[in-house]
Structure 1
Amino acid sequence: MREALSKRNKYILLGCEQLVGVCIFVFIKPSLATAVRDLSVNSVKTGMGGATGNKGSVAMSLTIYSTTFCFVCSHFAAGQNEVRDRNEDYMNTLRKIKFSQGRSILSHIVVFWLGDFNYRIVLSRNEAEAAIKSGNITELSRYDQLSQQKALGEIFKDFKEGPLTFAPTYKYDTFTDDYDTSEKCRVPAWTDRILWSEINGEKIVHLLNYDRIELKTSDHRPVCALFRVDTFKINLSRFALVFRDVIRIESGILWLIFNSSDIALAALSLDGVKMGNSVLSVKLLTPNWAELEYAEMNNALQNINEDMNMEYIELRNADNFEINDEDDLSMKGGSSDRMSRLRCNSPVDRGEIDLCQLNLPHVAPRSASSPLLNDMQMYPSTNDHIANVNVQSTQLSAPPVSLPEPVEISITVCAPPPVPPRKDSGCR
């Protein structure tokens, strides 16, 4: 395989994972080797309810620049009518495959899912072959089980696939162009597929080609796809600026900034924790943040009150307004009703809210204007064995990334040679 790939370009094997007959290889160009990190693999058995590995999935997770990728290769349950079993194999793969730090398949920015999914065509053998011979592939694809189940939302939600413009890839007599002539006389089908998904509809994956390969050593024709993916690459200059804002050391004190005030408050629980020969001393830069929040909320409510009173004053001369006949406020006599409806004071003035009863510790951390979000730190300690940590929480700017690095990804799905067929032919 490495020799075949190296005929045009040099590739290196990044990793592989195998489960019985299901195997995935990931090769990369040497120029991308330094951009790859966080490689992790996993597999799941789905044969006989998870007891055997004759059916199952293997998966590989990795990061290129700052874009996370997941490659999944699956072999689902066989059989013309076992649609439910295949759907369950898909769901079990989604649920059971986990990578390092608990990352799931769908948590990646880009997912490529490929393999022998075994979904069949819901037609008779004669009907399917007639459509193939006439070149009516688009009409034939309407009866594809995978497309039908996907449209129903049962499998591969939010996944995409290139158009099926090629003939079904299964099942052939080996070394021939004849579909299955054994006694089972299977209906041709697109069992081998390549799908992909992009998190949050990023639209960074561009399909360049989706086709089959006329390799006749197996009862499956291989399927291949070529993609261009716009990867996220860190802007190092912007990253350095953000890093200095988030983490810095001044006068022997470590400052930390969080983008969530809840997390910043949680950091207080580390006060007094011993780490090696040091003890953490964690303090807030503004310990009176609750009082400041009280004053800020009171000012905000007073501003609301003033706005309401201004509207009341303006409406005192409502008779001078020109109002369309279609409005539900009449020209004369309606202004007083309008004023009575709109004249209102703040909830504090009406006595509906007692600021002293507000649970400020739950309010302040979620307020974008809270002093807690703008300034938090830990006081230094005179103990030489105490590590001083400053904690600050603020709203960070957009991540320092851009999209300047397109990466080409080529995927091929192929099956090994099957057991030699019986000499007698049962297909008529």
Structure 2
Amino acid sequence: MAHQTPSSTTSDSLSIYILTYNCARTLVDPATFAPYLFHALPPSSDSPELLVLCLQELAPISYAFLGGSFLTPFFKAFREVVRLASKDDRHSYVNVVSRNLGMTAIMVFLRDDVVDNLKWVSTAGVGVGVGEIGNKGAVGVRLGYRVRRDDQVGDDGEANGESEEVEFTIVSAHLAPMEDGVERRNEDYKNIMQRLVFLPDQKVKAPLSRGEEGEDAPLLQGEVYSQGHENETVAGESGMYSTSSSSSSSSYFFFAGDLNYRTSLLRPSPQDVEDKFPQATPNRDEPIYFQDLLAEDQLTQQVKAGRTLHGLTEAPITFPPTYKYDTDGSKAVLLVNEEDRQHWSWARHRWPSWCDRIFFSNTSQRGDVKVTPLRYTCLPLFATSDHRPVALAASVPLKGPGSNAGQAQGERGPTTAPFGIDPEWRSKRVQARRKELAVGIMAYLALTWEGNGLLLATTIGVVGGWWIIRSLLMV
């Protein structure tokens, strides 16, 4: 793929496609996943310019907590998914950033014809699991996107090429499980708001180096966390509801993931399974029609009550529950077409629920522009997970009437966060990272073939060394 000369997009909008998927700690098969990656795109639409994969339980806990090269196969598999899904299109994709915080990850791709509009990238992460480690948590990407202003015309009647910047913040999250975990999930979101912090000195400016692995390799990968001066406040630090740049004329915020809100506070009874678990049916009056269960959705209730996802909105849900399916592994892909009226095979000990969701701030700081959802739906069920992926295709305005020259750095964006930044967020992350490494090492030794082999070899070496020394001393 040839690297293009930096330019500014002149389109009035940007097409964005966000997918969230709980991978169930299993490596995906690119050839199986790729044909359905863009399942949520409206018919006859072009490939999206901005593609974001929000991934939960990307890898087993040992690999996820150790990070680095242990995660390379998992990121590589999704890059291959994107390559295969777009191989017949006139455009390809560049993976501009891949980032994980424990078991939660995010991958951002830009279409090759707009990648040079990327001005900078910043990342942040926070764990909200036990001891604030990253078995649950969130990882975010913030990027600055260059847009040329056509309303600036020179003496020769041509656009003078001045540009402004649009800021995008996308967060991938995984919240607490269980039917009765509503308050814990609300608390998780509060902690993410307080401790997912973007730092100005972590911005990486474009053009970005492609690295040594070629153009398909991520431009940024890994986990960044501060060491030393852990409780110092850094000028310009901003939370996920804030903006990072004084030059941004607009900012947009997307929050996606396995948010884990259920449709009941109690586990289902055998009678519930028979009478209330939804199935594919054309008759909306039947008790098994999924919209009846959707009325019990905890997340919808909590958002309406102002207890979580403050100021964010969601496109209407017109798809069945995305969790918890029971797959026997006999087929790699199931429920490809809902109109086939296939049987929905649910796990009997969990209420079918819409755990996997995508929310967004519906306005920029200019009230005259809005995110326009084009399609919001689930993908087929893949046998490697008990979740169905969910995707949102949307159009995002880049400019419009009343375009301003920017706002003060750190000024609140389209939605104001109800909680401020935790002044101890960095020290908590450093401490949590140490715990993650300890857990990762123990899990690696105990739960993986490689770790078992290393442990066995070490044991044999120690015993053998002791036997040799003992033999020498007895001579």
TM-score, normalization: structure 1?
A: 0.51
Paired residue type of 1:129: F
Residue of 160, 163, 168 corresponding to 1:69: 168
Q: Which residue of 2 aligns with 1:323?
A: none
1:10 is the counterpart of 2:92: yes
Q: Whole-Å Cα distance in 1 between the matches of residues 253 and 298 of structure 2?
A: 22
CA, structure 1 residues 202+40, in 2 after alignment: closer, same or farther (shift >3 Å)?
farther
Is the 8 Å Cα contact of residues 77 and 118 (structure 1) preserved in structure 2? yes
Is the 8 Å Cα contact of residues 377 and 391 (structure 2) preserved in structure 1? yes
Once the two structures are superposed, what CA deviation does each residue of 1:41-92 show, in whole Å capped at 9, x if it has no partner? 1110000141x21101000001112111101000000111010110111011
Residue of 322, 326, 340 corresponding to 1:169: 322
Q: Whole-Å Cα distance in 2 between the matches of residues 49 and 188 of structure 1?
A: 29
Q: Which residue of 2 aligns with 1:60?
A: 141
Paired residue type of 1:190: W
CA, structure 1 residues 92+204, in 2 after alignment: closer, same or farther (shift >3 Å)?
same
Residue of 84, 92, 103 corresponding to 2:183: 84
Q: Which runs of 5+ in 2 are unaligned?
A: 1-77, 147-164, 200-235, 244-250, 335-342, 409-446, 448-475
Q: Which residue of 2 aligns with 1:120?
A: 262
Q: Which residue of 1 aligns with 2:242?
A: 107
CA, structure 1 residues 211+130, in 2 after alignment: closer, same or farther (shift >3 Å)?
closer
Residue of 127, 130, 148 corresponding to 1:48: 130
Q: Which residue of 1 aligns with 2:453?
A: none
* 1:35 Cα deviation from its structure 2 partner: 1.4
Q: Percent identity?
A: 32
1:36 is the counterpart of 2:118: yes
Is the 8 Å Cα contact of residues 24 and 59 (structure 1) preserved in structure 2? yes
What secondary structure, in the 3-state scheme, does the structure 1 residue paired with 2:197 have? coil
Q: Whole-Å Cα distance in 1 between the matches of residues 388 and 303 of structure 2?
A: 23
Q: Whole-Å Cα distance in 1 between the matches of residues 262 and 238 of structure 2?
A: 32
CA, structure 1 residues 96+173, in 2 after alignment: closer, same or farther (shift >3 Å)?
same
Is the 8 Å Cα contact of residues 124 and 197 (structure 2) preserved in structure 1? yes
Residue of 362, 375, 387 corresponding to 1:220: 387
Q: Whole-Å Cα distance in 2 between the matches of residues 202 and 72 of structure 1?
A: 24
Q: Whole-Å Cα distance in 1 between the matches of residues 104 and 351 of structure 2?
A: 23
Q: Whole-Å Cα distance in 2 between the matches of residues 104 and 20 of structure 1?
A: 20
Max Rg structure: 1
CA, structure 1 residues 67+214, in 2 after alignment: closer, same or farther (shift >3 Å)?
same
Once the two structures are superposed, what CA deviation does each residue of 1:175-200 show, in whole Å capped at 9, x if it has no partner? 46644446xx2110000001111344
Once the two structures are superposed, what CA deviation does each residue of 1:135-181 show, in whole Å capped at 9, x if it has no partner? 63333222100000001000112211111111000001234664444
* 1:10 Cα deviation from its structure 2 partner: 0.3
1:98 is the counterpart of 2:197: yes
Q: Whole-Å Cα distance in 2 between the matches of residues 33 and 234 of structure 1?
A: 26
CA, structure 1 residues 181+233, in 2 after alignment: closer, same or farther (shift >3 Å)?
closer
* 1:233 Cα deviation from its structure 2 partner: 8.8
* 1:231 Cα deviation from its structure 2 partner: 1.1
Is the 8 Å Cα contact of residues 128 and 188 (structure 1) preserved in structure 2? no
Paired residue type of 1:13: N
Q: Whole-Å Cα distance in 2 between the matches of residues 19 and 5 of structure 1?
A: 26
* 1:203 Cα deviation from its structure 2 partner: 3.6
Residue of 397, 406, 431 corresponding to 1:230: 397
Instruction: Report the RMSD for the aligned CA atoms in angstroms.
Output: 2.9
Is the 8 Å Cα contact of residues 62 and 68 (structure 1) preserved in structure 2? yes
CA, structure 1 residues 232+203, in 2 after alignment: closer, same or farther (shift >3 Å)?
closer
Paired residue type of 2:173: S
What secondary structure, in the 3-state scheme, does the structure 1 residue paired with 2:127 have? strand
* 1:128 Cα deviation from its structure 2 partner: 3.8
CA, structure 1 residues 202+136, in 2 after alignment: closer, same or farther (shift >3 Å)?
farther
Q: Which residue of 1 aligns with 2:307?
A: 154
The equivalences for 1:23-422 within 5 A come to 23-50=105-132, 52-65=133-146, 66-100=165-199, 101-108=236-243, 109-122=251-264, 124=268, 125-126=272-273, 127-130=275-278, 134=286, 136-174=289-327, 175=329, 178-181=344-347, 185-197=349-361, 198-200=363-365, 201-217=367-383, 218-232=385-399
Q: Whole-Å Cα distance in 1 between the matches of residues 197 and 240 of structure 2?
A: 7
What secondary structure, in the 3-state scheme, does the structure 2 residue paired with 1:72 have? strand
Paired residue type of 1:6: S
Q: Whole-Å Cα distance in 1 between the matches of residues 103 and 276 of structure 2?
A: 29
Once the two structures are superposed, what CA deviation does each residue of 1:79-134 show, in whole Å capped at 9, x if it has no partner? 11010110111011111111123122112421111000000002744354147654
What secondary structure, in the 3-state scheme, does the structure 2 residue paired with 1:88 have? helix
Q: Whole-Å Cα distance in 2 between the matches of residues 144 and 131 of structure 1?
A: 17
Once the two structures are superposed, what CA deviation does each residue of 1:339-382 show, in whole Å capped at 9, x if it has no partner? xxxxxxxxxxxxxxxxxxxxxxxxxxxxxxxxxxxxxxxxxxxx
Is the 8 Å Cα contact of residues 278 and 293 (structure 2) preserved in structure 1? no
Q: Whole-Å Cα distance in 2 between the matches of residues 37 and 231 of structure 1?
A: 15
Once the two structures are superposed, what CA deviation does each residue of 1:369-428 show, in whole Å capped at 9, x if it has no partner? xxxxxxxxxxxxxxxxxxxxxxxxxxxxxxxxxxxxxxxxxxxxxxxxxx9xxxxxxxxx
Q: Which runs of 5+ in 1 are unaligned?
A: 243-258, 260-418, 420-428
Paired residue type of 1:227: A
CA, structure 1 residues 159+30, in 2 after alignment: closer, same or farther (shift >3 Å)?
same
Q: Which runs of 4+ in 1 moved over 6 A?
A: none
Which has the higher mean CA deviation after the structures are superposed, 167-176 or 67-76?
167-176
